[in-house]
Chain A
Amino acid sequence: DTEVTQTPKHLVMGMTNKKSLKCEQHMGHRAMYWYKQKAKKPPELMFVYSYEKLSINESVPSRFSPECPNSSLLNLHLHALQPEDSALYLCASSPPIPGELFFGEGSRLTVL
């Protein structure tokens, strides 16, 4: 199984809503990532978890809250988002260095 699965594929939420994005992988990777991608731009790193511990937070606003319940799951909790947060949110995992990133299909988020 070489897949990273993300749910939901599409999400529309209001600025006062609370929602979550989910990501799952069963490749035994111990590093998991959240990226944000705007149209016609490269992925922008948000968070990195290594061995279920948050290792990198790229100064992401607190309205985005990551969680890594176990080595296979990664969540991104969303609260009080702004319309400019609308984007494609990509989850990825990687094996130990020097492995590549394995990406999910992404969750397309629209904030109204």
Chain B
Amino acid sequence: AQSVTQLDSQVPVFEEAPVELRCNYSSSVSVYLFWYVQYPNQGLQLLLKYLSGSTLVKGINGFEAEFNKSQTSFHLRKPSVHISDTAEYFCAVSDKLGGNNFNKFYFGSGTKLNVKP
């Protein structure tokens, strides 16, 4: 089974400042990597995903992430945050269960991004 570590439970940042949310996962081959955002009392929304190819992935709302296989990391970045980015962010990893037709997803514990004016 995979494990996903989000070391920062909370990240306070001022509006228009850059931010990086860290995510590390346990080593494995053929992992797929995702970042989700959750606003209060809502479901999770996909920000971006890495499946294969270029290690720099761009997502919605100006977010991007870089897959680093040697460091088993998939950190999320945004060059300039807005108040509206205040939310909980979850990193997730999936691998293929042998012989099945679906992914099993492993979630990190989440990082609360708090953007202050």
Q: Do A and B make up one complex?
A: yes
Q: Which residues of A contact B (CB under 8 A)?
A: 4, 6, 30-31, 40-43, 45, 48, 50-51, 55-56, 88, 90, 94, 96-106, 108
- Bound form: Cα–Cα A96–B94 in Å: 12
Set A42, A51, A108: member contacting B101, Cβ < 8 A = A51
- Bound form: Cα–Cα A95–B57 in Å: 20
Residues of A within 8 A of B112 (CB): 40
- Can you name 6 extra interface pairs (CB under 8 A) apart from A43-B107, A88-B41, A101-B46? A4-B43, A41-B110, A45-B104, A98-B103, A100-B46, A101-B44
Residues of A within 8 A of B100 (CB): 50, 55
Q: Which residues of B contact A (CB under 8 A)?
A: 32, 34, 36, 41-46, 49, 51, 88, 90, 92, 94, 96, 100-105, 107-110, 112
The 5 A-B pairs at the shortest CB distance, nearest first, are namely A31-B102, A103-B43, A42-B107, A98-B32, A103-B44
How many A-B contacts if CB must be within 8 Å? 72
Task: Name the residue on A nearest B46 (C-beta).
Answer: A100
Q: How far is the CB of A60 from chain B (nearest CB, A)?
A: 15
A-B contact list, 29 entries, CB within 8 Å: A30-B101, A31-B101, A31-B103, A42-B107, A42-B108, A42-B109, A42-B110, A43-B107, A45-B105, A48-B104, A50-B100, A55-B102, A94-B103, A96-B101, A96-B102, A97-B32, A97-B96, A97-B102, A98-B94, A100-B46, A100-B49, A101-B36, A101-B92, A101-B103, A103-B43, A103-B44, A103-B45, A106-B41, A108-B41
Instruction: Summarize B's interface: helix, strand, loop or mixed.
Output: strand
- Bound form: Cα–Cα A48–B45 in Å: 19
Residues of B within 8 A of A48 (CB): 102, 104
Contact indicator A50/B42 (Cβ below 8 Å):
no
Contact indicator B43/A90 (Cβ below 8 Å):
yes
Contact indicator A97/B107 (Cβ below 8 Å):
no
Residues of A within 8 A of B34 (CB): 100-101
Residues of A within 8 A of B101 (CB): 30-31, 50-51, 96-97
